[in-house]
């Protein structure tokens, strides 16, 4: 969540100058930076940033200021995309492109969990220019992949063995994620197939590295 990092970085810099998701069967309870891709094509992100006041005589990182900066960034994005100057989903009928699910500071860490209406919102808000960021994220189905000409060759089963292309193509309703860039990703289902080189952390979680486009299919 690069925008969050930029927001927090701005807060920290300014203070130093002045002072010196819906229900799911798969639970997204992250302890490290990651994203959660749902079957309805929405995305949740979790970002943790280390902050340490112990080296200073007085606290330099203020929780309320950091929260205000994050809320402002989200409000500005929503105002420009859906015309609603809000950072929280106050009513189920009032859909925002981005909403803050959680923000807190504890144990010298600032953490934020944000909900995104689409993969496009995730990419626009976080940016794709920085090194180590997700460059592309597309969420669809196996049928979408077939229609776009993806042949699924070179993919592997969850256990790492070579996958049968025809078997993949038969499961047209399975969710398909195309991803470019390094990230830890939890999916709302059990991973069935993935590109060679993708690491499977558990049945719902993959870890990608590098800037090659990879594919993950889950049921």
pLDDT, tens digit (0-9, with 9 covering 90-100), for 21-68 = 445 679 999 999 999 999 999 999 999 988 876 665 555 667 888 899
By residue count, the chain amounts to 219
Evaluate whether residue 131 is within a structural domain: no
What is the predicted pLDDT for the residue at 173? 97
What's the whole-model pTM score? 0.86
- Which residue, 65, 100, 126, sits at the end of a domain? 126
- 112 with 203, same domain: the answer is no
Instruction: Write out the residue range of the structural domain in which residue 211 sits.
Output: 136-218
- Which residue, 100, 126, 152, sits at the end of a domain? 126
Whether the CB-CB separation of 96 and 79 falls below 8 Å is answered with no
**What's the pLDDT band for 90 if we cut at 50, 70, 90?**
confident
Strand ordering across the sheet containing 191-195: 136-141, 175-180, 213-218, 191-195, 155-157
d(CA 212, CA 138): 14
- Which residue, 74, 92, 126, sits at the end of a domain? 126
pLDDT in tens, 170-191: 999 999 999 999 999 999 999 9
Whether the CB-CB separation of 137 and 122 falls below 8 Å is answered with yes
């Amino acid at each position: 969540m690069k925008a969050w990092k930029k927001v927090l970085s701005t807060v920290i810099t300014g203070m130093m100058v002045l002072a010196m998701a819906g229900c799911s069967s798969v639970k997204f309870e992250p302890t490290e930076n990651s994203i959660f891709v749902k079957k309805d094509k929405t995305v949740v992100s979790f970002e943790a940033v280390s902050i340490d006041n112990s080296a200073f005589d007085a606290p330099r990182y203020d929780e309320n200021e950091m929260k205000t900066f994050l809320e402002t960034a989200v409000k500005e994005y929503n105002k420009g995309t859906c015309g609603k100057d809000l950072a929280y989903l106050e009513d189920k009928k009032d859909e925002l492109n981005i909403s803050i699910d959680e923000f807190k500071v504890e144990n010298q860490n600032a953490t934020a969990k944000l909900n995104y209406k689409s993969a496009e919102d995730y990419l626009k808000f976080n940016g794709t220019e920085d090194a180590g960021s997700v460059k592309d994220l597309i969420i669809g189905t196996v049928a979408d992949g077939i229609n776009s000409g993806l042949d699924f060759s070179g993919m592997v089963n969850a256990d790492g063995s070579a996958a049968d292309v025809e078997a993949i193509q038969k499961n047209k309703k399975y969710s398909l994620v195309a991803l470019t860039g390094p990230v830890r990703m939890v999916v709302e289902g059990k991973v069935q197939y993935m590109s060679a080189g993708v690491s499977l952390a558990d049945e719902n979680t993959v870890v990608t590295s590098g800037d090659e486009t990879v594919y993950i299919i889950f049921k």
